[in-house]
Amino acid sequence: MERILHLVIIAFLLVGCRKEELKKIDGPLLSDLNGKFSVITNLKASRDSIDFVTNESIFFTAEFSKVSSWKLEIIGQKSGAIKEINGVGNKLTNSETTWDGSTTLFPIFQTEVCSARLTFTGEKDTLLTTINVNQPKINKGFVVADFESALNSGWSSFVQSGANMDFQVKSNNTAPQGGGYLNMAGTVDWDWLIGLINFKATAYGAKTFPLSSNPSNLYFNVLVWGEPSLNNSLVLFQFQEDENGDGNFSSNSEDMYSHQITINWVGWKLISIRYNELVALVNGTPAAASGNGVFEPNKLMQINMLHLANPKSGFAKAKLDYLIFTENKPLQP
């Protein structure tokens, strides 16, 4: 009997020894999820002005009474560029809202005053503040073309003599980067080709483009415009490698890789592709490369850009801007 009593006492002591768990809670707080929404601290930027060229950074803070789905938009007042950051929580912190000057919706930010706007799903409240961008972000990489001036005389081009042809650099505030872009439009009812530009390495003062030899961390990027109500444009990029270094490209014995873009969206869109994901095409179908079959971006001597459309499809229109090679990651404008 005594033994039983001892066991009971030990067992009670064991139960009594359990750690206190009142400070631990499973799941998000109900008061955060379902309580009444109110702003505790207003939206504030960590600095009034920012120079992205000198690697300055900026972040935003705010606190509110419950866990909410929030959206922070930074809008360039001159360019109309938009950076969008989304999150869920009851406050904005450094780690979530740090802005490196990049863009979500084109155009790219310029030197300008920007509005920051914080909104919440299901709530009427909108919080605002402003910041000055003294110098916008500069993207590292080799710029093939940004169309800030007329076509480079070192490039060659061909434009069909169709109807309503327009194949030239334009300057206006709709450019996604800087002030200019390449406009490509026209009706060619006898051929797929509307126009082309050959970007030759010699136009930049060398036999080949100054690119890394590693194709797995090199990205080709381009901003492409899709015209509303038109989805018949194709843009084909061809990358010709001078494998034997003779300054000429031989289609029978040297590699040419391609990337074809079907433009089926509206507005500006960033297209990025890793160099070793390019394919060799014969009549639009993947095929074995004609040369050594090795991706050698350091031997790239010419990039051909062809604007194509089905001749039966009528008028085609597209725009291009900011052809740039970046290393290690795709362009983050």
Partner 1 sequence: MKIHILILFTLFTCLVLAQEGKKVQFVGGARSILTASDFSSNEKDTITVGKTTGGYALIDLGIKINPNSRTEILGMFRINNAFGGFWGSDVTFGVRQLHVKGIAGKGIRYQLGNIDYKLSPYTCYNSNPDLILPSFGTTSIKEQIINYESFYKSNTWRQQGAAVDFVLDFSKSKDELKFKGFLFRLNPSNQGTLFERLYGGGSVVFNQHKNFQIGVNYANVFDVKETAQNNDVYRNQVTTLIYQYTYEFEKLKMELSGESGFSNTFSAEQKNAQLNDYFIHFKGNTMFKKTGVSLEAGCMDNGADFRSAGAQSKRIDFNQQNSSYQRFTNSQIVRPISYYDLYNDPTLYSMQFSTKLMDYNPAINNVLPYGIATFNRRGAYFSVNYSDKKERISTQLKYYRLGEIRGQGTPSLRKFDYFIGSVNFNPSAVFHWKKSHTIFLAMGYQYTNRMSKLALESIGLESYTLNFGVSFEMLDKLYFIGNTFWFKSNGNEILPIRDAKGTIINFQSTKIAGSENCLSGGLKFEFSKDVYLSVFYEHNTNSFMALNPYQFNQFQVVYFMKF
**Nearest alpha-carbon partner for 127 in 70, 184, 180:** 70
Task: Please give the full DSSP string across 151-218, using - where no structure is assigned.
Answer: PPTTSEEEE---EEEEEEEEESTT-SSTTEEEEEEEE-SS-SEEEEEEEEGGGGTSSS----S-GGGE
The rounded distance, in Å, linking the Cα atoms of 99 and 286 is 40
Binding residue (CB under 8 A) for partner 1 from 29, 53, 206, 287: 29
Binding residue (CB under 8 A) for partner 1 from 9, 28, 41, 267: 28
Decide if residue 24 touches partner 1 (CB under 8 A). Answer: yes
Q: If you search the block for the tokens 């480079």, which residue do you land on?
A: 152
* Closest CB 12 distance from partner 1, rounded Å: 7
What letter would DSSP give residue 128? E
Decide if residue 266 touches partner 1 (CB under 8 A). Answer: no
Q: Which two tokens stand for residue 310?
A: 């089905």
Decide if residue 88 touches partner 1 (CB under 8 A). Answer: no
Q: Which segment (15-23, 93-101, 191-199, 253-261) binds partner 1 by CB under 8 A?
A: 15-23
Decide if residue 26 touches partner 1 (CB under 8 A). Answer: yes
Nearer to partner 1, 7 or 128 (CB): 7
Binding residue (CB under 8 A) for partner 1 from 9, 30, 53, 294: 30
* Closest CB 95 distance from partner 1, rounded Å: 17
Decide if residue 34 touches partner 1 (CB under 8 A). Answer: yes
Decide if residue 8 touches partner 1 (CB under 8 A). Answer: yes
Radius of gyration of the CA atoms of the chain, in A: 28
Decide if residue 288 touches partner 1 (CB under 8 A). Answer: no
Q: If you search the block for the tokens 């890394």, which residue do you land on?
A: 212
Decide if residue 2 touches partner 1 (CB under 8 A). Answer: no
Nearer to partner 1, 33 or 53 (CB): 33
The rounded distance, in Å, linking the Cα atoms of 101 and 181 is 21
Nearer to partner 1, 15 or 288 (CB): 15
Is the CA virtual torsion 171, 177, 181, 183 positive or negative? Answer: negative
Would you give the distance in Å from CA 282 to the centre of its chain? 29
Decide if residue 25 touches partner 1 (CB under 8 A). Answer: yes
Decide if residue 12 touches partner 1 (CB under 8 A). Answer: yes
Binding residue (CB under 8 A) for partner 1 from 9, 11, 266, 294: 11
Decide if residue 31 touches partner 1 (CB under 8 A). Answer: yes
x/- binding map, residues 35-74, to partner 1, per CB under 8 A? x---------------------------------------
SS3 311: helix
Task: Find all residues with CB under 8 Å of 133, minimum gap 6, and list them.
Answer: 49, 50, 52, 76, 101, 109, 110, 111, 112, 113, 114
Burial of residue 183 (number of CB atoms within 10 Å: 0-12, 13-18, 19+): middle
Task: By CB under 8 A, name the binding residues for partner 1.
Answer: 1, 3-4, 7-8, 11-12, 14-15, 18, 21-31, 33-35
